[in-house]
Amino acid sequence: MATREKRLAQFDGSGEPPPGQSVEVLCEDHSGTYQLPFPCFYIDGKWHNKESGGALEATVIGWRFPRTRFDDRSGRRSQPAFAAMRTSSASSY
């Protein structure tokens, strides 16, 4: 099991992400740390679920830009589904 420090080191965003930018977030509660399975964005001092637009009720302790993933079947790097939204949404804010 990854330690809190190791997980935090993987979420290298410092400060606040650009407003409306899709990012991955690391949260923490009484049970430990966990990554949310959906993209989020930060605007007006609050974190939101990118898919629903709803405000997060979780405590966000770190963020990072979406990472590409390696597809074992094709041998290619694939982007998370919301990584493509990152470039298109950045121009709309």
Contact status, residue 29 vs residue 17, Cβ threshold 8 Å = no
Note the pLDDT of residue 89.
43
- 57 closest CA partner among 65, 48, 66: 48
pLDDT string in tens for the chain (93-residue length): 578 899 999 998 889 999 989 999 999 999 999 999 999 999 999 999 999 999 999 999 999 999 876 555 655 555 555 544 444 444 444
> Looking at the whole model, is its pTM more than 0.75?
no
| CA 10 – CA 62 distance, rounded (Å) | 9
Residue type, 49: N
Kindly list the distances between the CA atom of residue 47 and the CA atoms of 6, 67, 73, 86, 93, in Å, as whole numbers in the listed order.
23, 19, 35, 16, 16
